[in-house]
Amino acid sequence: MINKEELLQKIPKLLDELKNKNPLTHCITNFVTVNDCANAVLAIGASPIMSEDIEEVAEVVSISDALVINIGKLSHEQVEAMKVSSAQANKINTPVILDPVGVGISQLRNKVTLELIENYKLTAIRGNITEIKTIAKLTGIISESNTAKGVDVSESDIITKDNLNENAKIISKLAANLDTVILASGPIDILSDGETTIAIDNGDEMMPQITGSGCMLSSIVGSCIGATNPLEGTLLAALLMTIAGEKARAKVDNENAGTGSFRAYLIDYLYKLDGQTLINKSNIEIL
């Protein structure tokens, strides 16, 4: 059984490993937030490469430390590139991280998500709680799921203290069944590898009021796993993003600013956060 204090004490070392390795993070992602993803990866000390031409993706995977695939904006060509890249990554044991953006809003997204889950070894899946529960339904773990409204969290899915254990069980079971690490984002995040399940009660409600919070998090999950290991790397990424969000919000409030400034400050704090601050601000619970 992992001890919470021991886990937190590892955070500074994990952050050092990230900065020292400067992992090349290959992202196949959507055109809405791709710039934010590149800047987030750079801010934490990793190096992004956004490549999706089918003629070169396998070569790019071969020099990368992690592959992040994000289905926010699908196209036939991009899905083909995701498959070729994932196959190559699996072949050489490079971690693959999936962000199933908007799964549940169309048959196409459901189909693509299932194809990726069934045919490739995914090291981690990072989505909002509605997306994760949609996957649980699509794979038969649970029988019901709400209709997704766009790409945001459905209100009935929001994780609260009351339904935390119930949601944690679903996510843990899904992680075990798919043999992957899952990070489900919401006001409270749940992280599980099927054995260890952690609730992360950090972050700020302004995060979903900018586009890209989720995509950025998935990208840096890739960087952090590429430099460390799946469960701890995902925890590191989640703490970086949510605590950067808290600090950015405090600065916004202090300046009476809004979401445009929040977006810049979020990257500022991803760049600035150190290991001790992550320990001090973290609010996690091992379930």
Q: Which residues bind its own copies (CB under 8 A)?
A: 24, 30-36, 38-39, 42-43, 47-53, 55-56, 59-60, 63-64, 72-77, 102, 105-109, 147, 149-152, 209-212, 257-261, 263-272
15 CB-side CA count, 13 A: 24
HEC-encoded secondary structure of 36-89: HHHHHHHHCCCEEEECCCCCCHHHHHHHCCEEEEECCCCCHHHHHHHHHHHHHH
Residue 41 beta carbon to its own copies: minimum distance, rounded to whole angstroms: 8
User: Judged by CB, which is closer to its own copies: 72, or 194?
Assistant: 72
Our CB check for its own copies shows the closer of 64 and 90 to be 64
Closest distance to its own copies from the beta carbon of 25 (Å) = 9
Tally of CB atoms within 10 A around 14:
21
Minimum distance from residue 45 beta carbon to its own copies (Å): 9
What's the Cα-to-Cα distance from 181 to each of 82, 113, 234, rounded to whole Å? 19, 16, 8
| Beta strands 24-28 and 181-185, pairing class | unpaired
CB of 240 to its own copies, least distance (A): 13
120/262 with CB nearer its own copies: 262
Region at 99 (left for phi over 0; alpha for psi -120 to 50; beta for the rest): beta
CB of 105 vs its own copies, minimal distance in Å: 6
